Amino acid sequence: MMPMDPNTPDVPTKEQRMLAAIVFTDVVGFSKLAAQNEARVYVSLQRDMGIITSLCRAHSGQVLNTMGDGMLLCFTSAVDAMSCAVEIQRTFYSQSATLPATDVLHHRIGVHLGDIIVNGDNVFGDGVNIAARLQAEAKPDGICFSKTVNDVIKNKLKIDAVYMAPRQLKNIGKVEIWQVPPIEEARKTAMNELITAPLEVKQESTGVGGYKSIGLALAVLVCLGSIVFLVKSAANKGIPPSAKPGSVLKDPNAALRIMASDRMKKIKGGATDSATDASSSTNTNAPITGGTAPVSVAELQAKLDGMKTQLEFDQIAAFLQAEGKTLPNAATMAQSFSDLSEMKHWIDGEVNAATASNKISCSLIMNGSPTEVGIYRDPSGAGYTVETAAGVQSVPFAQFGAAGIAAIIQSLAAHPITNVQPNAQKWLGEFQQLYPG
């Protein structure tokens, strides 16, 4: 049997219209790579297309077309399409560990469930166009998919995806987007969460076991210190100074971080054994029972304070509804943070709709002085573009700080880019109550 050519499409023989899950792949920066070493890049492309073709067929899909460095795949099931897309990126990630860096290609993938028309070698329709636009929105080694796909897979596949809010896609309109981040990015995020999570060490009251616990705790602290150093060194390597945290707005959440740090120091400095904790009804460090391990109110509060600095409102609401539900006013705060999560989606949608010629205008404190700025979406998707008289720079949402976010809300409430939001003033009040100053 002749070996399969990945460039040979598996196309139906007559025209037909169908509802299909479309997977659109593309190589990041292929033209530039080809200009540097065309022969080598072509070999790498054929290798990767062969992998995509095999995985597509293994997930009951068809290769409808190849377009230069991209491929168009078709599935009758959105679950199969997403499973295939995830498997493609996982395979390429594993492959990259065994290849020279010059042989590694980075792919973006877009997935959409929609109507397409197949006519011989030609495939067209909104389903194809939207999948192609979603691919362009994905990060290198990442996957973007639409709401129609999410509605089908959300209760069937366990995928760590991030809601990106509606995006204005060229010649398409607004489309709600979710993104599966690159595996390397997800691993770093998980490591950072592990490092920043409060360390819980159960003390032994007497005997040799107590010294073993102390020794174990010291060993863990030394290991975590080494990991923090390595992760920070790797994270900052090759990053221009203008893109590093704190280079735009001088760490506006420093006060909350210090408060959380001080709280943890008090917890560790004032810890007592379990017998003492159990006998004191007023001790704020008294363990809460019912979980897999004792966690004090003070520790939960410190974790909440640390999470607040990241401005991840949906994650905070989830924490208050589960692990942190024993904190004072947890239910009320959980509802407020759920509201702020809706507020964040609204802000993201407005920023996505803003352009360099139709900016969100407001005044921010930058370098200690009020500065008139224009805000619109950073083309890379990494943050918001903040334009001043001195130039433009990318700013992540959390780096605006409480005062900056409040200014953006006030500006959008008065002059929305697309959608008037009747809850804007309510959200502003909740935000300022939770983030005073």
pLDDT tens across 414-430, in order? 888 887 888 888 988 89
Q: Rounded CA gap, 74 and 118, in Å?
A: 11
Residue 202: predicted pLDDT: 43
Place 259 in a pLDDT band, splitting at 50, 70 and 90. Answer: low
Confidence (pLDDT) at 252: 53
pLDDT digits (tens, 9 = 90+) for 46-58: 999 999 999 999 9
pLDDT tens digits, one per residue of 311-337:
888 889 888 988 888 888 888 999 999
pLDDT of 162 over the 80 cut? yes
Distance CA 316, CA 310 (A): 9
pLDDT at 357: 84
- Check residues 434 and 266 and name the one with the higher pLDDT: 434
- Give the pLDDT confidence score for residue 7 in this predicted structure: 55
pLDDT digits (tens, 9 = 90+) for 196-208: 555 444 444 444 4
Q: Which residue has the higher pLDDT, 91 or 232?
A: 91
Most confident range, picked from 28-37, 189-198, 207-216 = 28-37
Look at strands 173-180 and 107-119 and give their pairing: unpaired
Q: What is the pLDDT of residue 433?
A: 87
Confidence check: pLDDT of 105 > 70: yes
Could you tell me the pLDDT band of residue 174, with boundaries at 50, 70 and 90?
confident
Residues 6+ apart with CB under 8 A from 389: 372
pLDDT tens by residue, 13-30: 567 888 999 999 999 999
Q: Where are the domains of the chain?
A: 16-185, 338-434
The confidence score (pLDDT) of residue 109 equals: 96
Average pLDDT over residues 339-351: 88
Q: What is the pLDDT of residue 192?
A: 61
What pLDDT is attached to residue 126? 83
* Predicted confidence band of residue 61 (pLDDT cuts 50, 70, 90): very high
Q: Give the span between the Cα atoms of 296 and 277, in whole angstroms.
A: 10
Distance from the Cα of residue 51 to its chain's centroid: 27
Residue 190 has pLDDT above 90, yes or no: no
**Residue 214 scores a pLDDT above 60:** no
Average pLDDT of the chain, as a whole number: 76
pLDDT tens-digit readout, 79-102:
999 999 999 999 999 888 888 888
Buried b (16+ CB within 10 A) or exposed e, 347-374: bbbbbbbbeeeebbebebbbeeeeeebb
Confidence of residue 188 (pLDDT cuts 50, 70, 90): confident
**pLDDT beyond 70 at 284:** no
How far apart CA 399 and CA 390 sit, in angstroms, is 19
3-state secondary structure the chain: CCCCCCCCCCCCCCCEEEEEEEEEEEECCHHHHHHHCHHHHHHHHHHHHHHHHHHHHHCCCEEEEEECCEEEEEECCHHHHHHHHHHHHHHHHHHHCCCCHHHCCCEEEEEEEEEEEEECCEEECHHHHHHHHHHHHCCCCCEEEEHHHHHHHCCCCCCCCEEEEEEEECCCEEEEEEEECCHHHHHHHHHHHHHHCCCCCCCCCCCHHHHHHHHHHHHHHHHHHHHHHHHHHHHHCCCCHHHCCCCCCCCCCHHHHHHHHHHHHHHHHCCCCHHHHHHCCCCCCCEECCCCCCEEHHHHHHHHHHHHHHCCHHHHHHHHHCCCCCCCCHHHHHHHHHHHHHHHHHHHHHHHHCECCECEEEEEEECCEEEEEEEEECCCCCCEEEEECCEEEEECHHHHHHHHHHHHHHHHHHCCCCCCCCCHHHHHHHHHHHCCC
Percent of the chain residues topping a pLDDT of 70:
71
CATH code reported for the domain at 16-185: 3.30.70.1230
* Residue 158 pLDDT: 85
* pLDDT at residue 368 tops 80: no
Pick from 2-6, 86-90, 251-255, 418-422: least confident:
2-6
pLDDT: is 369 or 234 the higher one? 369
Please report, for residues 112, 210, 262, 263, the alpha-carbon distance to residue 259 in angstroms, rounded to integers and kept in the order given: 45, 30, 5, 6
